[in-house]
């Protein structure tokens, strides 16, 4: 018998990845494809992808996998995919998209956050929809789009996540998953429906939104155009796309209340996924989305991660042995306070006015001091997320992943020291692809429960108690300076 294969697709913000997997969730050698890309930042706070180019990259990734696997015997019976959360793209009545896809980092709708906060009890909406009011999410973005592009908005034929637009092109229908819908800030995560109160206020016809697919049984099949382009996929069953953060947790083996996934890639996140319902009261500053109708994922996201490290490296002319120097200098001896909001703030404060800052800088400091302060500051922000996760989870293991941590053993050690908790590095490099496949195999019954799947991990990075004590003091100073700056922002807005 020919082997049964799964095509896995990760539609990310910085790349599109794809590969074939066998029915035991093992990647098929020689079939992996990666197409890199990046959002374009604009001077007014925009963060955009060209809609047509972004879709073409998805098509090209699938083309390439099929070309690479042409001699591999086996039937591709299923396609499993994940995609970046919080994107937004409108389409007209003919299904043609607006020129650009808006990403989570697009802050042009930031002025509308305050309007939403004045109109609603934010704590109530946060607890119902799992998201604070912020430019990352759809409510503020939709208000901005209506105001800036009234004619196009009035003639819109659909309002989608980018993965929903891909579904529209592939299947002829923009069916979305509970997982993707839950990341919009416009979805009732408890009832698993679009939120009526927000829709009424925004004057959004529910017919413009994608249909919520039944994630327990529904699959999709290619329409005529792409079935003809990809004969090997003509009869494959496509599972609704899930959020990449959810897929990363699954692929990292973090699908119980006792395991947290800590990821530092371009940005950063700390997440706990588990089977069950959202907490009765979602802690302030955290978000809570869905993996599917039976599982949730809760955590916090940082806008600054590997992108911050890259900015420092590009602009400070760091010496090649910068990290070795930091190892010798000890924790937080520089006395600096770095506020890591060069790319804005999401968790914990969700402050639309937040910007980066460096305090207590003197002529005695050098570029290595600044790098160390920045790396420690990201760890401090993770610690704030960790503290808020503790009351609603029982974390005993933190699994670390992401390119920025793979490239910097020092940063992994710093985060462990600040958290006062060991970190366990994940060995699975393509955790999001793997996670999408594992969830698909659970849905088909091939895997009884993804909680039972063993994921390879490296030896733990142990935190150093003496440095944890020092970091507690530095973290307290960081928190005070953060609150000081937040107070300045608040007073400016009020004036």
CATH code of residue 119: 3.30.420.40
Q: Is residue 442 part of a domain?
A: yes
Q: How confident is the model at residue 281 (pLDDT cuts 50, 70, 90)?
A: very high
Q: Is the dihedral of CA 147, 153, 158, 162 positive or negative?
A: negative
> What's the whole-number mean pLDDT along residues 181-204?
98
Please report, in angstroms and rounded to a whole number, the separation of the first and last CA atoms in the chain.
Answer: 73
Same domain (yes/no): 282, 320: yes
Element at 200 (helix H, strand E): helix 196-202
Q: Is residue 248 part of a domain?
A: no
pLDDT recorded at residue 456: 77
- Domain tally for the chain? 2
Same domain (yes/no): 216, 279: no
pLDDT recorded at residue 289: 98
Q: Is the pLDDT of residue 190 over 90?
A: yes
* Domain C-terminal end among 208, 240, 272: 240
Q: Is residue 247 part of a domain?
A: no
Same domain (yes/no): 154, 30: yes
Same domain (yes/no): 117, 234: yes
Same domain (yes/no): 21, 129: yes
Same domain (yes/no): 210, 259: no
Q: Is the pLDDT of residue 39 over 80?
A: yes
Same domain (yes/no): 263, 174: no
- In terms of residue numbers, what domain contains 17? 4-240
Give the model confidence (pLDDT) of 136-172 as tens digits: 999 999 999 999 999 999 999 999 999 999 999 999 9
Same domain (yes/no): 435, 360: yes
Same domain (yes/no): 380, 261: yes
Same domain (yes/no): 83, 168: yes
Element at 20 (helix H, strand E): strand 15-22
């Amino acid at each position: 018998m020919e082997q049964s294969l799964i095509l896995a697709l990760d539609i990310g913000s910085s790349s599109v990845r794809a590969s074939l997997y066998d029915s035991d969730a093992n990647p098929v050698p020689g079939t992996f494809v990666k197409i890199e890309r990046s959002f374009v930042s604009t001077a007014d706070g925009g963060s955009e992808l060209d809609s047509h180019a972004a879709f073409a990259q998805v098509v090209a990734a699938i083309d390439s996998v099929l070309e690479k696997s042409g001699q591999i015997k086996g039937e591709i019976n299923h396609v499993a995919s994940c995609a970046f959360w919080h994107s937004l793209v409108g389409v007209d009545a003919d299904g043609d998209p607006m020129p650009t896809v808006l990403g989570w980092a697009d802050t042009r709708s930031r002025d509308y956050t305050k309007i939403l906060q004045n109109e609603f009890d934010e704590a109530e909406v946060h607890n119902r929809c799992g998201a604070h009011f912020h430019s990352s999410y759809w409510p503020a973005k939709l208000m901005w789009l209506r105001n800036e592009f009234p004619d196009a908005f009035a003639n819109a034929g659909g309002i989608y996540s980018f993965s929903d637009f891909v579904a529209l092109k592939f299947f002829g229908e923009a069916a979305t998953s509970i997982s993707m819908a839950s990341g919009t800030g416009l979805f009732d995560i408890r009832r698993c429906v679009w939120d009526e109160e927000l829709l009424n206020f925004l004057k959004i016809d529910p017919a413009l939104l994608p249909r919520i697919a039944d994630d327990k049984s529904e699959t999709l099949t290619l329409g005529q155009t792409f079935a003809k382009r990809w004969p090997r996929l003509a009869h494959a069953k496509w599972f609704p796309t899930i959020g990449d953060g959810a897929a990363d947790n699954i692929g990292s083996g973090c699908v119980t209340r006792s395991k947290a996934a800590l990821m530092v890639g371009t940005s950063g996140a700390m997440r706990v996924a588990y089977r069950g319902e959202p907490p009765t009261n979602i802690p302030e500053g955290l978000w809570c989305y869905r993996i599917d109708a039976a599982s949730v994922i809760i955590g916090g996201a940082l806008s600054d991660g590997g992108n911050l490290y890259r900015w420092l490296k590009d602009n400070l002319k760091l010496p090649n042995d910068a990290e070795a120097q930091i190892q010798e200098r000890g924790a937080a001896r520089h006395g600096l306070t770095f506020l890591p909001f060069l790319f804005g703030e999401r968790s914990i404060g969700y402050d639309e006015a937040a910007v980066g800052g460096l305090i207590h800088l003197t002529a005695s400091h050098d570029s290595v001091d600044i790098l160390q302060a920045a790396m420690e500051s990201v760890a401090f922000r993770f610690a704030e997320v960790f503290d808020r996760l503790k009351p609603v989870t029982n974390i005993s293991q933190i699994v670390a992943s992401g390119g920025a941590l793979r490239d910097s053993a020092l940063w992994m050690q710093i985060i462990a020291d600040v958290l006062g908790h060991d970190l366990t590095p994940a060995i699975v490099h393509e955790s999001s692809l793997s996670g999408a496949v594992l969830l698909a195999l659970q849905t088909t019954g091939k895997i009884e429960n993804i909680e039972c799947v063993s994921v390879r991990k490296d030896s733990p990075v142990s935190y150093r108690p003496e440095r944890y004590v020092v970091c507690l003091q530095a973290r307290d100073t960081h928190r005070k300076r953060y609150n000081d700056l937040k107070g300045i922002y608040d007073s400016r807005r009020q004036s």
